[in-house]
Amino acid sequence: MNDNHPADHGPARALTVADVLALPVLAAGRPQVVTGVADLDRPVRWVHITELTDPASFLKGGELVLTTGMPLPEDAAGVRRYVDELAGIGAAALVIELVRRYHRPPDALVDACRQRGLPLVTLAKDVNFLEVTQVVHTLLLGNQADAMRRAQRIHEAFTALTLRGAGPEDVVRAAAEMCGRTVVLENLVHQALICEPSGLTVEEALTDWEQRSRATGPGDNTAIRGPEGWLTASVEYQGERWGRVAMLPARTAGPTFGPEDITLLERTAMALTVARLIHPTPWERTAHRNALLDLVEQRHRSAQDARARCAALGLPTDRSHFVAALVDLRAEKRRAETESRLLQELRTAGVPALVGELAPDRLGILLALRTSQPWRPIVERLSGTVLGLAPEAVVSVGSEVTDLTDTARSFRAAARVAEATPSGQPLPPDRSFHELSDIGLRRLLYALREDARIQEYTERQLRRLIDHDTQHGTDLLTTLRHYLDAAGNKTTAARRGGLSRETMYQRLRTIERLLARDLESGDQRTELHVALTALDVLRAD
């Protein structure tokens, strides 16, 4: 590292008065800050050596002014005018050498600098001002070149994202990675649709999001706004403001947002505007889908993150109970229409919920309900809407839970119901959806039909009987079915099969011999009943 480079200066931060004073070339003059200690973080745009009584006419602002003190007026009024001109033009600081004319700064100069908030620095030893300008200007020009290269990399990165049709998640993620800060995309009603945390947790970034966002006023240009100092930029869609993207300040004290951050956020907003045109699916639906998947797959880092994420989407997380439901459409083309109608029904009913696609032919619904609000009428209403659009659809409901972080359990229960519900399964007489209590033996075996253990059990129990029927043209399997359905009553079984009692007895003895079973045993009849039910399920599937 160059010895003349300030130790704490990084490529993404402007050179400040404090940085320049720390340079060896100036430190050799034993600088002492007389006024403006709190303002040493002012950026230095240039260094200007002057021995004029009116140097401000040659300045543009941001200059570190070096002088031997020779041109300072004798009278206090002239000194005040000198300082007023420097402060008025926005000089970064005044550095005076106490070697030739002065050995201590004049009181009038100190008072004037203190009143105008202009940092005044004295040098106790002789310093080569030309060397100071050379070192500082080299650093400044190097910083400018670095800034240009970084700006070029930002433009290239977002151009590449746009050309490959990146979605909003990719754009926001890239922005957060480039700036090292949390970036959030919200819509006009202050719902945080995408949050890429960096340096903050999701909980820290999104807790009370709507309230904090509304306190951060809108604006057309990219600027720092609100009590928390967010850097925000508008995102448009078809010429109208659609929402905005916000870059949040770091949790720890550090440099404020600079020109590079503004450039980055402006390019982020532009890329999001293009992405909004390319990806027609409403981003609110995508946000709901991602939030549901995070809950179902338990991808949140903490329960607090999960609550903050869902609350920022408008789902009340302090409700007393939650219920998950799945809609299996069997026809993917109906998904978008069904999703729209479900959202409309929920808005009409005033029920907060997340609705999103969990698979190409499956929609997930999470209802957030108050203590006195029953879920069955709401699900019945939603099921009626679904079946009106897609009669072949199946609506499955999971268990009721009392905490948002337990909704994965409710979704798992709904999935078990869906797995145990074959297409065309009759609905219960009193409702239009399926729930856990509907799963009996047949539907349980249907859910497990692909398990090799079920298949092996069925084959082991019934193979000899099936083989005998196949080889001899008999129908002993049906006889066994009638017998088991009659709970072991031979008379009832014979009547159902249209057989005489003697024929029924003979066939049952043959079945016992083939299967090596005692049909008078309740346990063995149960085993055969399970195997026969599983066979029916496997053949139907």
Contacts of residue 373, defined as CB under 8 A and 6 or more positions apart, other chains included, come to 351
For 385-438, write each residue's pLDDT tens digit.
Answer: 988 888 888 999 999 999 998 999 999 999 988 888 877 778 888 889 998 888
Task: Quote the pLDDT of residue 239.
Answer: 78
Tell me the mean pLDDT in the region 70-76: 81
Q: Is the per-residue pLDDT at 361 higher than 90? A: no
Per-residue model confidence as pLDDT tens digits over 466-512 = 898 899 888 888 889 898 888 888 889 889 888 888 898 898 899 88
What distance in Å separates the CA atoms of residue 40 and residue 251, rounded to the nearest whole number? Answer: 23
Alpha helices in 61-128 (DSSP H): 76-89, 107-116
pLDDT in tens, 251-271: 765 557 878 888 889 989 988
H/E run at residue 313:
none
Average pLDDT score over residue span 51-73 = 80
| Contact by Cβ (8 Å): 260, 149 | no
Q: Are 143 and 15 in contact (CB under 8 A)?
A: yes
What percent of the chain lies above the pLDDT cut of 90?
30
Q: 539 or 181: whose pLDDT is higher?
A: 181
Q: What pLDDT is attached to residue 421?
A: 83
Give the whole-angstrom CA distance, residue 168 versus residue 394. Answer: 32
Residue 488 contacts residue 481 (beta carbons within 8 Å): no
pLDDT of residue 309: 94
Q: Tens digit of pLDDT for each residue in 223-236?
A: 999 999 999 999 98
Q: What is the structure's pLDDT at 150? A: 67
440-444: Cβ within 8 A, 24+ apart: 441/530, 441/533, 442/533, 442/536, 442/537, 444/420
- Any idea what DSSP says for residue 51? -
Residue 184: pLDDT over 90: yes
**What was the pLDDT predicted at 182?**
94
Show the tokens assigned to 159. Answer: 């151009």
Cα 388 to Cα 177: distance, rounded to the nearest angstrom? 46
The pLDDT, as a whole number, for residue 148 is 62
Least confidently predicted of 147-151, 365-369, 440-444: 147-151
Residue 4 has pLDDT above 60, yes or no: no
Q: What is the mean pLDDT of residues 67-91?
A: 85
pLDDT above 70 (res 534): yes
pLDDT, position 429? 83
Does residue 1 carry a pLDDT above 50?
no
CA angle 27, 96, 60 (to 5 degrees): 100
Mean per-residue pLDDT over the chain, rounded: 85
Higher pLDDT, 191 or 157: 191
- Give the count of alpha carbons within 13 A of 232, CB side only: 22
Q: What is the pLDDT of residue 233?
A: 93
Highest averaged pLDDT of the listed ranges 10-14, 68-72, 197-201:
197-201
pLDDT of 248: 93
Whether residue 178 has pLDDT greater than 50: yes
Comparison of pLDDT for 157 and 35, the residue scoring more: 35
Q: Is the pLDDT of residue 92 over 90?
A: no
Q: State pLDDT tens for residues 199-214.
A: 888 999 999 999 999 9
At residue 7, the pLDDT reads 35
pLDDT higher than 80, residue 541: no
Distance CA 478, CA 532 (A): 10
Structure-block tokens of residue 453: 């253990």
Weakest-pLDDT range from 3-17, 456-470, 490-504: 3-17
Kindly give the pairing relationship between strand 120-123 and strand 93-97. parallel
* Residue 287 phi, psi (nearest 5): -65, -40
Q: What is the C-alpha to C-alpha distance for residues 277 and 412, in angstroms, rounded to an integer?
A: 36
Structure confidence at residue 42 (pLDDT): 86
C-alpha–C-alpha distance, residues 386 and 361, integer Å? 13
- DSSP-derived pairing of the beta strands 192-196 and 321-328: unpaired
Q: How many CB atoms lie within 10 A of CB 539?
A: 8
Q: Is residue 8 pLDDT above 50, yes or no?
A: no
| pLDDT band per the 50, 70, 90 thresholds, residue 355 | very high
pLDDT at 147: 59
The pTM of this model reads 0.65
For residue 27, the model assigns a pLDDT of: 82
Q: For the segment 128-153, what is each residue's pLDDT rounded down to a tens digit?
A: 888 888 887 777 766 655 556 666 77
Q: Which residue has the tokens 């998947």?
A: 293
Give pLDDT tens digits for 294-342.
999 998 889 999 999 999 999 999 888 999 999 998 766 678 888 889 9
What is the β-pairing status of strands 63-67 and 46-49? parallel
- pLDDT of residue 33 exceeding 50: yes
Backbone angles phi, psi at 70, to 5 degrees: -60, -35
